[in-house]
Amino acid sequence: MNIAFLNPPFRGTYNREVRFQAVSPQKALHPPIMLGYATAICRDLGNKVDLIDAPALEIGEEQTIKRIAGLEPQYVVMLTSTASVKSDAALAKKISKETGAKTIAVGMHATAVPNDTLHRGFDIVARGEYDYTIRDIASGSLLETVEGVSFKKGKRIIHNKARPLIRNLDDLPFPAREFLPNEKYYSALYKNPFTFVLAGRGCPHQCIFCAGPQLMSGRGYRMRSPENVVAELKHLKENFNFKSILFNDDTMNVNKKYLLGLCKLMVEEKVGIPWVAYSRVDSVDKEIASAMRKAGCFLVKVGFESGCDELLKTMKKGTTTGDARKAAKCFKGAGIQVHGTFVFGMPGETAKTMRKTIDFAKQLDLDFVQFSVAQPYPGTEFYKYLESRGYLRFRDWDDFLDCSGRITPIFEYPNLGRQEMLDWMRRAYREYYLRPYYIAKALRQRLTNWSLLKTSLRSGWSLLQYLKS
């Protein structure tokens, strides 16, 4: 069977396989690794496959359809997202018309609202973790027998029972990166080009806004063996030209014993690839930070989220500002740079709490920051909270982005409007990055790091344009 896997064209450098699906105001382009896993599984079964990342290739609909048609596929697996689903569905109809292929929607949005997704023009939805769902379809199984599938049958929509999460992640092949334009993936924070690696999937914590664990990977952390992860790192080093990797696990250091074992093996096997990871503030101590640094970690992305303990409770973060201060100190003490993320718009947010968060971010003295307005993706607890109280303000899914492809608030509270949240976010960036102290610190860092200087110039220009808009 012939199967094409597609990250569809949409809004230039639009990112779908990330926590906030948008065009990054600081410029970044991320690889569709989950599509890469499904591609590799079907490839290894003997199918003829292709993986097309249209945003990275900078190709539009016409070129995309032409490449798909060359494969003559029976199925086209399309990554979707909330803001792009209207565009994705319109393309799905064109693909079906011009190639005769059936289209399969995958991703968080399709999982959350499969009926809506199918009504817009897709033939099939593969809900949740779809690696083995696509495998079964590619093997010729009847749709009625495939777990995790929703599909149209006449005027009815059939929802098959949910597919269990994959227990042994070591059984999966490495993602089929050979199909991707790997030199295109970049971020101002990393050494470029970079790629994603998943040491595990899922997260045991209860944050109300994080869509991945709620819709795709589950409320638990399933880990690959350290040996399997290191084997992939060696594979990357031998076969590709990546300058760094991002462990895209939601919280890689949630299991101390596992992380210390992985870091130890990376050192013993002399992997030698610089890397980045996500971290919670309550999952780090001096021993963890030291082990990460010795194994090649040069930066962590930490979800501080707010400078108010009351808001951390309402978002069910399970952490405190005290934890945040300790975590920042641990990482900086180990010589690891810290990129802190903060979110505006959680239940209980006010002008006073946003002011407090900005001041808190400056007190932490982080290397990089990201301020965002919360995005209530359908299917999440946060979306249901807003919906039940009548706080949502949007007509259709494409309202989730502004005309530049950036996240815009689609909700407001009685005491806090949408424009006010955007104004505070821009104020946060201005106050943080335009401080003389920060500018001097950043110049010192970049004058001794040519790679960081180049990417910073690109992202800095993009950020300035955003602040002016």
What CATH number did the domain enclosing 66 receive?
A: 3.40.50.360
244/15 Cα distance (integer angstroms): 19
What CATH number did the domain enclosing 362 receive?
A: 3.80.30.20
- The whole-number average pLDDT for the span 148-157 is 94
Task: Give the model's confidence band at 186: pLDDT under 50 very low, under 70 low, under 90 confident, else very high.
Answer: very high
Q: Considering the domain boundaries, does residue 73 fall inside one? A: yes
Task: Give the model's confidence band at 404: pLDDT under 50 very low, under 70 low, under 90 confident, else very high.
Answer: confident
More confident residue, 404 or 132: 132
Task: State which residues form the domain around 243.
Answer: 189-374+409-433
Residue 306 and residue 193 share a domain: yes
Domain total for the chain?
Answer: 2
Q: What's residue 181's pLDDT? A: 98
> Tell me: the pLDDT tens digits for 300-332?
999 999 999 999 999 999 999 999 999 999 999
Pairing of strands 149-153, 156-159: antiparallel
Q: How far is CA 228 from the centre of its chain?
A: 22
Are the CB atoms for 145 and 410 separated by under 8 Å?
A: no
In the chain, the largest separation of any two C-alpha atoms, in whole Å, equals 65
Q: Considering the domain boundaries, does residue 452 fall inside one? A: no
More confident residue, 75 or 449: 75
DSSP character string of 208-235: SS-HHIIIII-SS-EE--HHHHHHHHHH
57 has pLDDT over 70: yes
427/25 Cα distance (integer angstroms): 14
Q: What's residue 460's pLDDT? A: 62
Q: What's residue 455's pLDDT? A: 56
Q: Considering the domain boundaries, does residue 48 fall inside one? A: yes
Residue 282 and residue 217 share a domain: yes
DSSP character string of 250-308: S-GGGSHHHHHHHHHHHHHTT----EEEEE-TTS--HHHHHHHHHTTEEEEEEEEE-S-
C-beta atoms surrounding 189 within 10 Å: 24
Q: What is the dihedral of CA 458, 460, 464, 467, to 10 degrees?
A: 120
Residue with the two structure tokens 């899922």: 202
Residue 149 and residue 216 share a domain: no
Residue 155 and residue 193 share a domain: no
Task: Give the model's confidence band at 454: pLDDT under 50 very low, under 70 low, under 90 confident, else very high.
Answer: low
> Tell me: the pLDDT tens digits for 7-22?
999 998 999 998 889 9
Q: What's residue 322's pLDDT? A: 98
Secondary structure in 3-state letters for 399-411: HHECCCCCECCCE
User: Torsion-angle region of residue 393: left (phi > 0), alpha (psi -120 to 50) or beta?
Assistant: beta
- The whole-number average pLDDT for the span 116-134 is 98
167 has pLDDT over 60: yes
Residue 101 and residue 15 share a domain: yes
68/355 Cα distance (integer angstroms): 50
Are the CB atoms for 290 and 252 separated by under 8 Å?
A: no
221/213 Cα distance (integer angstroms): 9
469 has pLDDT over 70: no
More confident residue, 154 or 427: 427
Q: What's residue 270's pLDDT? A: 97
Q: Which two tokens stand for residue 225?
A: 């063996």
